[in-house]
Structures are given as structure tokens and as C-alpha cells.
Structure 1
Amino acid sequence: MAGGASTPALAAAVSEAGGLGFLAAGYKTAAAMREDIDATRRLTSRPFGMNVFMPSLDEVDAPAVAAYRDRLAPEAERLGVAPGTPAARDDDYDAKIADLLDDPPAFVSFTFGRPAPEVVRAFQGRGTVVIVTVTTVDEARSSGDADALCVQGSEAGAHRGSFTNTLDGALPLRTLLRRVRDATSRPLIATGGLATARDVAEVLSLGAVAAQAGTAFVRCPESGASAVHKAALADPRFTSTAMTRAFSGRPARGLVNRFLIEHSAHAPAAYPDVHHVTSPLRKAAAAQDDPDTVNLWAGESFREATDAPAAQVAAALAGR
């Protein structure tokens, strides 16, 4: 839920309700990440976690990125902005790890790859539980000494948390969960299109120790998602989701809108370069209440999302 939806208020509310709230470090500086941790601690004394993006390893075709930037120039002009330019590709990773190790939360999870073994051991030495997101059985087998795995099915909203910038091997959650369960004895957290107590009960019956939800919380008042994003999840004009690289250069699932349809086929596999290019457009579109030009990340069960408080959503997922 990086990029806005994740807030201290949301993470704290979920933890206070008996769940395990998570913050998102993605797209933030180490200092901003620490501010979120401090704010969450002021709101709850219960455990919570922080999710960290691994630095991109993409071999970028710079001319392809430049061509895509040129393609988006008319979109930018219509919105009154200029396309962005590629910037740092490491998401302030080293500074974030140093900061987290100095004063870690109870859980730290990693997306887009696995951290170095010494990083895992350092967190474990501080008593922090390390979780790695996996999208295939091979990733599960190569996830190092992580304490637990977050098994992400193809139904999940937003970015596919794969180790490489690809859709290879994408499987629905129930199938993937069974296969990963057969390949490892580590605790598994299931995620991808989970929006009801029935969904949660099903993945627990398949061997998961916990269920993770994202889209289910996007419309909550504690969520920092934009008003246009929250409204789109309930807008009958949007009827389906699809995977796209159009907004970030990495496969991510969102509501099918005009921008996704017109630009998906032309977006290079270049993350976070494309993310930087489209950032001014997305911000302007959100400010102008333009749902057809902004990324509307959503899992396949997006219609189940409500605007209820996060504590109520957490309780409903738990069957309470």
C-alpha cells in the first residue's frame, strides 16, 4: 500500500483491532519512514510491521524509457504538468535498513526480492520477524532464512511482489499456496484478493497461518488513498482489473481505465524509471479528480471494499 494508502492511523487501527497493521516504506525517505513508525507508536502499543521495497535490479533500456516519456507528453500537457524524469533507483534502501536496525518494529517484510543473509540475521538478532514476499515456488525456495513467507497470488492489487520484473509463473492464490506449502515448512501468510471472512477461513484451511488484505482497507477513513481512488472502487463504471506496467514499469493490478488501456502495451519493463516519469501525471490527475489518468490499484475482489472504519473491516475479515 505504498504511495499514499498506508498511514500510521490505518496500521494502528488494524493492530488495535487484533490484526497486524503494516506501514509502507516504499517511495519514502528513511526519515519519513521513521516519522511513520514514531506516529504509529503514539497510536498503539501493539505490534506492527514495516514493508520495504528491495532496490530495482532491472536492466533499463534508456531509449525505451525516453520514448515512453515522449508518448506521455500530450497527457502531461492536458494536465498542466511535465512528465517526470528517471531518478534514484534504490528507494533509499541502505538508509532505511540502517534506520530500522537501530530501532526496529516487531516485523519487517520485503517486496521485490530477498534481503542479503546478513541483513536477515541482523534483524533476527534484534528480535524482529523477517518476512519475504514470494510469487512462485522457486522464489519461496530461494528466499533465504526469512522467518515467514508472504505468498502473493495473481489476484492481488497493486504491484506483483516478484523477485524479477515479470509475470512469469503467475498463479491464483489458492493454487500457489498449496504448491508453496508443499515446498517449505515455514509459516505462510496468504494474500491476493482476500476480502471476506470466508476467504480468510479458506486460506487458513489450506495451510496459511495468516491472511493479508490490502484493497479491503483502501476505502477506510484511516486510509491515505486519494479521494478519486476511493471513489473509483465503488464506481459502477469500473468493472474489472488488469495487470499493467503503464504507471510504474512493473506489473501491477489496477482498475481498467483509459490510461491503462491506451498505454499498457507501450510501457517498458523499467522500474522505478516509469514510476518517476508518470508521477507528476498521476499526482495532477488525482488533484483534478480524473480517474482515467491515475493508477487505481485494486485486487480482483475490489467490489467487497467498503468505507467502514479499519477496525470494523478487520473484525469482519476475522469473522467477528
Structure 2
Amino acid sequence: MALTDLCRYPIVQAPMAGGASGAALAAAVSEAGGLGFLAAGYKTADGMYQEIKQVRGLTGRPFGVNLFMPQDPATDPAAIEVYRQQLAGEATWYETPLGEADSGGDDNYEAKLAILREDPVPVVSFTFGCPDRTVLDAFAKIGTYTIVTVTTPEEAAIAHRAGADAVCVQGVEAGGHQGTYRDDPQSGGAGLGLLTLIALVRDAVPLPIVAAGGLMCGAQIAAVLAAGADAAQLGTAFLTCPESGASPVHKQALTDPLFVRTELTRAFSGRPARGLVNRFMREHGPYAPAAYPQVHQLTLGLRKAAAEAGDPQGMALWAGQGHRLARELPAARLVEVLAAELDDAAAQLTATLRNLRNLRSAS
């Protein structure tokens, strides 16, 4: 099975953990000709299975499930305790206790693998690392297509050696968590832009590429396809769809002129993630330790309380760099619009190339 066999259009809906990309959104995108994805991150194994059943009840087309790789729990407890003390004022303000930053970081990984092997889905993708060959070979034997998120050519080489069918190349422009294999506190949030990364990965491995990072319209999809990608993955573009499970406050903030830029921050989860710059990020981002998922667990109640209070200044407003281009359209309609824009961009490129050839011939 080829990547292009999975959907009519080269449009993949990003798996956005935390409730944004559930069954309704994934099914709507797949039904419209894209490739919808469920985000299994932060869910129980049974919770993931129930959502899979919901998608199957809504569409017969291919869809995917994304898993978080288990994380190394080795973190300085003292650094977490210092951050807990810094957040005490937030707990008082939102009248909610801080969460318990336990060391569990496997996200029910093995239980989810067992379900997906026993009752296969068309596609499984992985973030925050690469499974070993035994895992990917097991999926290959049951006909499940596997995609591994990468942020460098080196990570792409690891995925290739492990037997991945494709790589999701994530540029630094992407909203939400960066899918780096190793969270290096010394990196300073540095990362490669998507077009450069596509070229480097294309040169490093012979795998199909799904391009992700700040993509919001059909012309951008055409650009990454021209750069060597086989499909484009969009997350923020689908956040404002009615099928999205993102909170109304989050959806409104994406196009609110109050939020003019995005940054990478550890403030909410302890891992670099791109979101709209708000008060919480400015006040706590510089001091947040590299401690995922402990910081995520610590701030979970605060973020929920802020959302319930309708306060965007205390929420994790994950968003890619192109967030101001978000359109409030039903998911199926957005896929149709993106596909039409892609066709227009391709036609324009063909006309431009024809004109260039004519100019050369005339000279």
C-alpha cells in the first residue's frame, strides 16, 4: 500500500492530542477525501478503542491513530518542585490545586499497541520517538501503514532503519509539541524550517514524506509537494472546524488580533510546543524545566480551569505560525476548499513554467 492510496487528496489532518482531533473530525476529513487522524495521546487504551469504533461508525474510508512514544522519566525532582512553587499563585487565582507530577511517562503505550495489533486500523503514526523494528514489522504483517514523526534528517534515518513506511517531517513552524526524539534543553528552541527540512530528509532517506508545519492553504500544500513531499499535514487549519474538539476560547483566539505571534514554550508541558503568546507563557515559560510529562500533569488542572473561566491568558493555545489564516468551515468543506486551492496553484505553476519555456525558446 502506498501513501497516496490512503486518500483522494494529499491532505492529512494532524492528530492533535488533548481533545481537538476526535472521532467527528477524523471521520469528516476522511469522508471528504483527506486522511483523518485520531490522537491517542493522553487517552486510556479503552478510550482510544472507543473513539476508533466511533470513527468506523461514521466512515468506511482509511483513517489513522497517533501514539506518543514512552518518555524517559529521568528528571530533576528539585526543578519540578521549584516550578510548582512558582505556579502557586496560578492555583490560587484559578481556585484549583496543582496536579501531581508523577514519573509515569508511558501513556499506556503497550496497551494501545496491543489493541491496534488485535484490531488493526489502516494507519498508525508515532510521535516523540521511533518504535523498534519489532513493533513496525508487526504492523506491516497485519497491513497497517506506519508513519514516524521526524524533525531532523538523523531522526528520519532512524525511522528508515526501523522499518517505517513513511515519515512525517515536522518543521519548526508547526503548532503544538515538537516531535523531537530527544528533548535537549540546550537547543534553545532551534529547529529547521519545513522547506529546508523536506529537502534534507528527501536527500537522507527514500521514504514517502508527509510535510507538517504552519500549512493553512492549498498554495502552501502545492509548495511542499513541489519541494518533494508526498502529502501535507495540517493541524491548526482544522482547529476552528465545528467538528474540532478544541474549546471555543481556543478557536476564537486563533484569529483574535490580541494574539499576534506564536512561540515555542515549555510553560505548559515541560516539552517545547508552539502556541499563541499569552500571559501564562510570558510569565512562566522562561522558568519551566525540561520535564515532560511531569509539567503537563502539574498544569493540567490550571489549563482546564482557565478554559472553563473563558480566560485565554491561562490556557495552552497551541497554534502554528499560520494561525491567522484559519477559516471557520466544516471539515469536509475545508478539505474541498484546500483541494480546489491546490488545483489552482498547480495550474498556475504549470502556466508559469510554460511561459518560462516560451521565453527561453524566443531568446
**TM-score scaled by length of structure 2:** 0.87
Matched residue SS, 1:177: helix
2:200: which partner in 1? 179
Matched residue SS, 2:169: strand
Q: Is the 8 A contact 1:6 1:224 kept in 2?
A: yes
> Using the alignment, how far apart are the partners of 1:173 and 1:166 within structure 2?
20
1:50: which partner in 2? 65
Deviation at 1:164, TM superposition (A): 1.1
2:223 aligned with 1:202, yes or no? yes
Deviation at 1:166, TM superposition (A): 3.2
Q: Is the 8 A contact 2:250 2:317 kept in 1?
A: yes
2:5: which partner in 1? none
Q: Is the 8 A contact 1:200 1:318 kept in 2?
A: no
> Using the alignment, how far apart are the partners of 1:304 and 1:110 within structure 2?
27
Q: Is the 8 A contact 2:195 2:224 kept in 1?
A: yes
> Using the alignment, how far apart are the partners of 1:61 and 1:217 within structure 2?
37
1:230: which partner in 2? 251
Deviation at 1:70, TM superposition (A): 1.2
Deviation at 1:316, TM superposition (A): 1.9
1:159: which partner in 2? 177
Deviation at 1:58, TM superposition (A): 5.0
Matched residue SS, 1:239: coil
2:283 aligned with 1:265, yes or no? no
Residues 77-113 of structure 1: per-residue CA shift (max 9 Å, x gap): 1101011111321101111111111112100000000
Q: Is the 8 A contact 1:58 1:165 kept in 2?
A: no
Letter aligned with residue 150 of structure 1 = C
Q: Is the 8 A contact 2:96 2:301 kept in 1?
A: yes
1:137: which partner in 2? 153
**TM-score scaled by length of structure 1:** 0.98
**More deviation, 244-253/229-238:** 229-238
Which of 294, 301, 304 is the matching residue for 2:325? 304
Q: Is the 8 A contact 1:154 1:192 kept in 2?
A: yes
Residues 159-191 of structure 1: per-residue CA shift (max 9 Å, x gap): 000101137461000000001001111100000
Equivalences for 1:36-75 in 2 at 5 Å? 36-75=51-90
Q: Is the 8 A contact 2:255 2:325 kept in 1?
A: no
The structure number with the bigger radius of gyration is 2
Deviation at 1:306, TM superposition (A): 1.5
> Using the alignment, how far apart are the partners of 1:183 and 1:285 within structure 2?
44
The share of aligned pairs that are identical, in percent, is: 56
Which of 148, 151, 154 is the matching residue for 2:166? 148
**Structure 1 gap segments, 5+ residues each:** none
Letter aligned with residue 155 of structure 1 = E
User: By percentage of residues, which structure has more helix?
Assistant: 2
Which of 116, 124, 130 is the matching residue for 1:108? 124
Q: Is the 8 A contact 1:166 1:251 kept in 2?
A: no
Q: Matched residue pairs, number?
A: 320
Moved over 6 A (4+): none
Letter aligned with residue 108 of structure 1 = V
Residues 44-98 of structure 1: per-residue CA shift (max 9 Å, x gap): 0000000000011252111101110111011011101011111321101111111
> Using the alignment, how far apart are the partners of 1:233 and 1:262 within structure 2?
20
